[in-house]
């Protein structure tokens, strides 16, 4: 519903903070691993009033990472990357980020200190030391699960791909970011096919352009089609008024709303 991808949009006077996600990993594209990080990050950003506007998934190939990162970091306030910061030969995210920012990358003593919290000197193999290679000028993002840190450079936040580690890093970094006005949502479930509610929905949307109205069909357990109607906006009272008006229009067509929940 919201078309602009730019920085610093304003909506109802509140500053809009935008973000994108870059998932890096052959294993997601081959279907071997189902990504669960996007859904988690999307929910947490929504909690913080940060609007996720685009996601890209690319392979473990430097040119592809650099290309996508260049496009995303110019278009959104923040870019979150997941994957490719481990100790093995296919972990090339840190190098790609350094190339994208045109900065040097070296073993960072602060990152080595983090690794020492977990590993003895014997265990600090060259492979593990690879996880301490951080682009020049980046701030570390510690994590208590694996000890190997992520980092933030400019508006790019680089995190692990393993969900538990990624989640720990995300919680560390979210308080450091600008947050926006939280989008509230109000969902109506209607046990009818989407086609039967389309006309009152379109009418309500055109009368109330300040509330984003989405319509999400689903198949019920018994095979019947139903629809979730989701109203989104920053003002709870306004959402409730628009929902009441919509329920009224549906009622005129003999269509009852099954449930209504606000979040």
Q: Which of positions 176-235 make contact with a copy of itself (CB under 8 A)?
A: 183, 185, 194-199, 201-202, 205-206, 212-219, 225, 230, 232
Six token digits for residue 61: 């190939």
* Residue 110 CA: distances (Å) to CA of 50, 84, 107, 135, 138: 29, 20, 9, 12, 11
Given the rule CB under 8 A, which of 7-15, 105-113, 120-128, 236-244 is the region that contacts a copy of itself? 120-128
Least Å distance between CB 69 and a copy of itself?
Answer: 13
Q: Binding of a copy of itself at residue 117 (CB under 8 A)?
A: no
Q: Binding of a copy of itself at residue 125 (CB under 8 A)?
A: yes
Assign 253 to helix, strand or coil: coil
Q: How many residues are there in the chain?
A: 263
Q: Are 97 and 136 in contact (CB under 8 A)?
A: no
Least Å distance between CB 106 and a copy of itself?
Answer: 19
Given the rule CB under 8 A, which of 41-49, 103-111, 151-159, 243-251 is the region that contacts a copy of itself? 41-49
Q: Whole-angstrom Cα distance, residue 255 to residue 189?
A: 11
Given the rule CB under 8 A, which of 99-107, 126-134, 135-143, 169-177 is the region that contacts a copy of itself? 126-134
Nearer to a copy of itself, 153 or 159 (CB): 159
Six token digits for residue 181: 């006005």
- For residue 107, count other CB atoms closer than 10 A to its CB: 12
């Amino acid at each position: 519903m919201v078309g602009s991808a730019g920085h610093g949009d304003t909506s109802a006077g509140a500053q809009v903070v935008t973000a994108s996600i870059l998932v890096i990993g052959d294993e997601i594209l081959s279907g071997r691993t189902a990504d669960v990080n996007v859904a988690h990050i999307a929910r947490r950003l929504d909690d913080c009033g940060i609007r996720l506007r685009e996601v890209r998934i690319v392979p473990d190939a430097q040119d592809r990472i650099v290309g996508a990162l260049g496009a995303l970091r110019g278009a959104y306030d923040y870019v979150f990357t997941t994957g490719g910061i481990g100790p093995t030969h296919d972990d090339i995210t840190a190098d790609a980020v350094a190339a994208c920012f045109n900065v040097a990358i070296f073993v960072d003593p602060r990152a080595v200190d983090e690794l020492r919290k977990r590993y003895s000197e014997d265990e600090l193999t060259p492979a593990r030391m690879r996880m301490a290679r951080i682009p020049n000028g980046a701030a570390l993002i510690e994590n208590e699960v694996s000890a190997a840190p992520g980092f933030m450079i400019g508006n790019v936040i680089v995190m692990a791909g393993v969900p538990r580690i990624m989640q720990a890093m995300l919680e560390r970094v979210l308080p450091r970011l600008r947050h926006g006005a939280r989008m509230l949502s109000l969902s109506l479930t209607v046990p009818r096919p989407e086609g039967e509610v389309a006309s009152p929905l379109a009418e309500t949307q055109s009368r109330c352009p300040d509330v984003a109205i989405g319509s999400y069909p689903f198949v019920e357990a018994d095979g019947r089609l139903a629809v979730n109607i989701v109203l989104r906006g920053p003002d709870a009272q306004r959402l409730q008024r628009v929902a009441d008006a919509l329920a009224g229009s549906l009622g005129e067509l003999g269509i009852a709303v099954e449930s209504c929940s606000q979040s």
